[in-house]
Structure 1
Amino acid sequence: MSEPADRPAPRSPKGERTRARILASAAELFSKSGFHAVSLRDIAAHAGMTHAGLLHHFSGKEALLIELLGRRDEDDAAVLLGTDPATSPRRFLEGIVGIVDRNMHTPALVGMYAKISAEAADPDHPAHRYFTRRYQILRGLLGTAFGALAALGEVHPDVEPLLTAGQLLALMDGLQTQWLLEPDAVDMRASVVDFLTRVGLDLSTAPLFPVGLADQDGVPAGPEPTAETRDSPKNADARP
């Protein structure tokens, strides 16, 4: 039986490596300059390929941005996979601590998140809906976890679940900015663990994030440009 005509064809290993190189370049440039200041030609030049070559893999900047955000979500989901904050709240929060630990190994994507989330306060920004929905989901999940721990008597009795959830998210975002400015002076994991201790939850022994998932800044850099892409003409200064 033939496959449906609308099913996407599987990508070749070479194609996946090229996409990974493009994503790594986009993450680095977005983290430095934001979304609007970077052009597709900038990203293509940084990745060692032509503008036309990049468009073969991604239809535009918005598609690149959404895939970058989605890949980080996939990494986070891998840590929290199968962990219900209502029934396993301690394990869920251990996963959050692990994600904070992971962020200390991925400066480019942390920088991109900090830069793009600030830009996305503009309702017309392509990532506005993404970040709005992301915070809604995280507040809900964290609120459920704190509520479950309160019911079990594992946090201080005056802990208000949703308020504490919002405070934890604000702490994590603020720590990212401080860490990007002065990484040697800020231990994000230790600060989050300290916050949780102050609400009555000791997660100082929470597992570290698996190094294999944290050592490539979220997207593999891919191989060096090939002779074909390296020798192709680039027009990095032009804007699409």
Structure 2
Amino acid sequence: MAMETFATRGYHNASLAEIAERAGLTQAGVLHYFRSKAGLLTGVLELRDLSDRQELGAERAHGLDFLRHLVDTVRRNATREGIVRLYAVLSAESVTEGHPAQAYFRDRYDGLRAMVVEALREARDRGQVRADLDVETAATTIIAIMDGLQVQWLLAPDAVDMAAATQQAIDALLGIATERA
């Protein structure tokens, strides 16, 4: 209920009273489990990440396999509109001063960028991408493409194939074919 409310109304417009009512609880009941609205928001975001980590499995894929995992995640996200909307709304909203999810999103982007950089370095070391690839810029670009496609897809789901566009962008950026045979 909180995830849906934050996704449709944003953090600032979502009220604890509305979330509690949708969950069949009182505000005091919600605050028993989460000390504050910001704590509830953090819990919702952590639940979203837990779901994604479970899909990834115990061991992270390496090199180009990690990029394939990213495309698979985008494909899976096309079936999870609420989660995509939550992420898009809250990540954009988090750039405002004092937003309780700002540190979460800063850390999440830092961590994701580090994983993509590592995968690109692995691919470069294996000779799977060109030796002069600027892996930091490529990683930032891949993440930006994925986030931008989510917004476009939310606004026009029948017109945007997020997975195909992500795959094509990665292929073009790296000058390789990363699609599974």
TM-score, structure 1 as length reference: 0.69
Correspondence for 2:158: 184
Deviation at residue 44 of structure 1 after TM alignment = 1.4
Which stretch has the larger CA shift, 88-97 or 158-167? 88-97
Correspondence for 1:74: 50
Change over 3 Å in CA distance of 1:181–1:76 after alignment to 2: same
Query: Structure 1: which 5+ runs fail to align?
Result: 1-24, 207-240
Correspondence for 2:115: 141
Correspondence for 2:179: 204
Query: Structure 2: which 5+ runs fail to align?
Result: none
Map 1:121-136 to 2 at 5 A: 121-136=95-110
* Correspondent of 2:30 among 44, 49, 54: 54
Correspondence for 1:233: none
Measure, in 2, the Cα distance between the counterparts of 1:75 and 1:46.
22
Return the letter of the residue paired with 2:149: L
Return the letter of the residue paired with 2:95: A
Give CA-to-partner distance per residue, 1:17-43, whole Å, 9 cap, x none.
xxxxxxxx1111111221011110011
Correspondence for 1:33: 9
Cα contact 1:31–1:115 (8 A) shared by 2: yes
Which stretch has the larger CA shift, 194-203 or 137-146? 194-203
**What RMSD in Å do the two structures reach over aligned CA positions?**
1.8
Measure, in 1, the Cα distance between the counterparts of 2:97 and 2:118.
28
More helix by share: 2
Cα contact 1:154–1:200 (8 A) shared by 2: no
Measure, in 2, the Cα distance between the counterparts of 1:54 and 1:113.
22
Measure, in 2, the Cα distance between the counterparts of 1:105 and 1:60.
30
TM-score, structure 2 as length reference: 0.90
Identity %: 39
* Correspondent of 2:148 among 143, 154, 174: 174
Which stretch has the larger CA shift, 186-195 or 89-98? 89-98
Cα contact 1:83–1:91 (8 A) shared by 2: no
Cα contact 2:68–2:179 (8 A) shared by 1: no
Which stretch has the larger CA shift, 96-105 or 159-168? 96-105
